[in-house]
């Protein structure tokens, strides 16, 4: 589900909604990632303005808004609607695809596939579970719960519980909840937990540290974790529940110490912020991803990862003014 950074008084909320609907259409139906990103970025930019934008010409002066979106803004301001979106919304197949992709594990391709074979509603899915894989079945099982956002105080409680439980294996574990929670949002779509340990390093990983595996960690979360979508050496996807509250999507990543801060940066997001920061890194001759920061030499080949011991280090290396997590909402 698409949403914007929490902003109580978004003066451009109506047109932002239009842009997000268009973004959703490009993502789910035409599968045009570039257009999806363009609409989303424009919506984020407009949502942070402190005044209502009056015309396409004015909008075009903003970074991330070009001719096409400017024209759409004028049409929307003049007529109160957008022809393109009106006709999209009338299309039954588009409606069906948008519903099915709300199920965790069902992407645009699978949704189109299902619609083609006549499966168009959540009810239809329930009668055709044989057409779904394990992840998609879990998505369907908890469909109603996963639609609900998770209040901040509940994630705080889950954070404390995860720490308590993994500290039983070793007090030296470090647990950081990233994603929108770390950016300070009042509510989140899921929980993104990053875990590392001084004994989990790239070297040690090669001869596997039996004591500190992700499987061990998940075993220790018994009671909190109620379903597993998938679990590997570094990545767990599953479901957790606190008391009688709704079931929540929980992602855990176990990360070698050397890569921890690049991972924290990446999983804190936002996705738009990450794109911006990576582009800046490239301008400064660095390649930044969720694993490492590497200098790009004259040959154009990235070198060895530079040593990093905090998030601030990454900003400093690429000469990017440090931003607190709550300043990374776009
Ligand atoms: N991420 C990214 N690019 C993507 C997907 C994710 O850079 N295409 C990064 C940035 C996100 C983080 O991973 O902030 C976590 O992904 P989520 O989908 O969980 O997004 P958020 O936690 O930001 O929002 P939500 O509240 O919806 O979970
Ligand atoms: Mg998240
Ligand atoms: Mn997530």
Query: Tell me: the pLDDT tens digits for 101-136?
Result: 999 999 999 999 999 999 999 999 999 999 999 999
Atom of ligand 1 nearest to the CA of 271: 7
Ligand 1 pocket test target in 179, 262, 291, 329 with most atoms within 8 Å of CB: 179
Positions of E strands within 157-224? 174-177, 187-188, 191-196
Span from the CA of 73 to the centroid of ligand 3 (angstroms): 32
User: Closest residue (by CA) to atom 5 of ligand 1?
Assistant: 271
Query: Tell me: the pLDDT tens digits for 217-231?
Result: 999 999 999 999 999
Residue 1 has a pLDDT of: 65
Give the Cα separation of 129 and 66 in Å (integer): 44
Q: What share of the chain has pLDDT > 70, as a percent?
A: 97
User: Closest residue (by CA) to atom 6 of ligand 1?
Assistant: 271
Token code pair at residue 160: 């404390």
Query: Tell me: the pLDDT tens digits for 266-282?
Result: 999 999 899 999 999 99
Residue 22 has a pLDDT of: 97
Query: Tell me: the pLDDT tens digits for 281-308?
Result: 999 999 999 999 999 988 889 999 999 9
Q: Mean pLDDT across the stretch 10-23?
A: 94
Cross-strand pairs, 305? 294
User: Closest residue (by CA) to atom 1 of ligand 1?
Assistant: 271
Contact 324, 265 (CB under 8 A): no
Residue 7 has a pLDDT of: 63
What DSSP assignment string belongs to 146-165?
HTSPEEHHHHHHHHHHHHHH
Residue 235 confidence (pLDDT) above 60 = yes
Alpha-helical runs (H) found in 7-107: 13-25, 33-47, 56-60, 67-79, 83-90, 92-100
User: Closest residue (by CA) to atom 8 of ligand 1?
Assistant: 271
Sign of the torsion formed by the C-alpha atoms of 82, 87, 91 and 94? negative
Within 8 A by CB and 6+ apart from 121, the residues are 96, 99
Residue 208 confidence (pLDDT) above 90 = no
Give the Cα separation of 231 and 236 in Å (integer): 4
Span from the CA of 268 to the centroid of ligand 2 (angstroms): 8
Percent composition of the chain: helix, strand, coil (DSSP 3-state, to 5)? 50, 15, 35
Residue 9 has a pLDDT of: 80
Higher pLDDT, 9 or 22: 22
Q: What is the mean pLDDT of the chain?
A: 94
Q: Mean pLDDT across the stretch 244-256?
A: 97
| ipTM tops the 0.90 cut | yes
As for ligand 1, residues whose beta carbon falls within 6 Å of it are 179-180, 188-190, 192, 266-267, 269-271, 274
- Cis before 214 (ω within 30): no
pLDDT band at 205 (very low <50, low <70, confident <90, very high): low
Residues forming the active site: 72
- DSSP code, position 227: E
């Amino acid at each position: 589900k698409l949403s914007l950074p929490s902003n109580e008084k978004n003066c451009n909320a109506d047109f932002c909604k239009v842009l997000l609907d268009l973004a959703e259409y490009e993502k789910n139906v035409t599968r045009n990632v570039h257009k999806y990103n363009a609409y989303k970025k424009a919506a984020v930019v407009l949502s942070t303005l402190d005044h209502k934008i009056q015309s396409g010409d004015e909008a075009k002066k903003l970074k991330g808004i070009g001719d096409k979106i400017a024209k759409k803004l004028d049409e929307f301001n003049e007529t109160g609607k957008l022809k393109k979106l009106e006709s999209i919304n009338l299309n039954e197949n588009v409606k069906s695809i948008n519903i099915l992709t709300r199920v965790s594990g069902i992407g645009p391709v699978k949704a189109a596939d299902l619609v083609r074979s006549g499966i168009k509603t959540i009810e239809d899915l329930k009668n055709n579970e044989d057409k779904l894989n394990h992840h998609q079945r879990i998505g369907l099982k908890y469909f109603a719960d996963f639609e609900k956002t998770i209040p901040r105080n509940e994630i705080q409680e889950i954070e404390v519980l995860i720490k308590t439980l993994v500290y039983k294996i070793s007090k030296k574990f470090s647990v950081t909840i990233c994603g929108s929670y770390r950016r300070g949002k009042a509510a989140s779509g899921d929980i993104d937990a990053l875990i590392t340990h001084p004994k989990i390093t790239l070297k040690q990983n090669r001869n596997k540290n039996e004591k500190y595996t992700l499987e061990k960690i998940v075993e220790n979360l018994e009671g909190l974790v109620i379903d597993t979508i998938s679990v590997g050496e570094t990545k767990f996807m599953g479901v957790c529940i606190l008391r009688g509250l709704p079931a929540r999507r929980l992602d855990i990543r176990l990360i070698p110490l050397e890569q921890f801060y690049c991972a924290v940066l990446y999983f804190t997001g936002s996705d738009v912020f990450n794109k911006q920061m990576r582009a800046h890194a490239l301008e400064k001759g660095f390649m930044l991803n969720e694993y490492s920061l590497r200098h790009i030499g004259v040959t154009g080949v990235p070198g060895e990862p530079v040593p990093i011991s905090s998030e601030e280090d990454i900003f400093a290396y690429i000469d990017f003014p440090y931003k607190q997590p709550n300043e990374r909402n776009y």
